[in-house]
Amino acid sequence: MLQDRPRELTLTVHYRTDVGRVRNHNQDSLGYREPKELGRRAEDGWLYAVADGLGGHQAGEVASRLAVQALLTAYYRSRQGTPADRLRRAFADANHAVYERARQQTGPRRMGTTLVAAVARGEELIVANVGDSRAYLVRGGRIRQITRDHSLIAQLVAEAIVTPEQAKTHPQRHVLTRSLGTHSEMKVDLFTETFLPGDQLLLCSDGVTEHVTDAEIGSAMRDRDPEAIAQRLVDLANERGGRDNITVLILRAMPKRKNRLPSPVLPQKVEKPPISRRRPGPGSVVT
């Protein structure tokens, strides 16, 4: 039996990815897929993802890019179960793709990535993550972190062993407790939210959150120009050291306009954004 179709929204996406001030290579990747067919948009939703690669610049670039590509392919190939079920399986497929690539390497085999993704299906928003790349929901001027970081420092804060203030400079703040591709199996967290007209979703790598507070992110998100928001967050992270690669993807929801032709959707492309005027880094995937 077909599921009830949620009310369709008009979605806009804007993003920036930047190498930062310290790294020589961009290990972050981003990607999204917006189905052209109206029926598939209503049934499947639109999928967006940000990944932050681990394991040295070459391995990290490969891992994050492979994870995003595998996620997009697996989600839209699957037709069984709810969108949440399909997103969970797509994460498993992405994990398998990265894990198997690492096994096939002749050199160092340490390869992995964080991955945060969201399916926007009308007013339903399904978010999933592994690692410390984050998703935030902004509504009515208030910002809320949807995801939970899979990191040692997040665990120490949750257990009240260190304070949030101490966590900012803790020597082990970058140690992950969970990542994608480093083991044959991994656990993914899923969250279901309501996505209303006027809401904004931010997906970002920790190159942003290491330098920019939640309050500052929320303040920046009040700007009416999403491109200016994305650039502001990148600039803030760089002004404060830019110690890691920086990636932000902003999704905005608006009521569906009647009697308006749908926006054109480009065929599968790599490194050629249809919306942002600024060319993404080497890890970008747009489909």
Are the beta carbons of 17 and 171 closer than 8 angstroms? no
Q: What is the predicted pLDDT for the residue at 4?
A: 53
pLDDT (0 to 100) of residue 279: 37
Report the 3 state secondary structure along 193-224. EECCCCCEEEEECHHHHCCCCHHHHHHHCCCC
Which amino acid is located at 25 in the chain? H
Residue ranges of the chain with pLDDT lower than 50?
A: 1-3, 259-283, 287
Measured CA angle at 182 (ends 177, 188), to 5 deg: 60
Q: How far apart are CA 202 and CA 193, in angstroms?
A: 13
- How many helices and strands in the chain, by DSSP H and E? 8, 12
Domains of the chain listed by start with CATH number = 9-145+179-286 (3.60.40.10)
Distance CA 97, CA 225 (A): 37
pTM: 0.87
Token pair belonging to 4: 């009830």
Q: For 141-182, where are the alpha helices, taking DSSP H only? A: 152-158, 164-167
Which residues, in sequence order, are CB contacts of 41 under 8 Å at separation 6+?
A: 8, 34, 35
What are the tens digits of pLDDT across the range 194-252?
999 999 999 999 999 999 999 999 999 999 999 999 999 999 999 999 999 999 999 99
Q: What does the block give as tokens for 201?
A: 């979703």
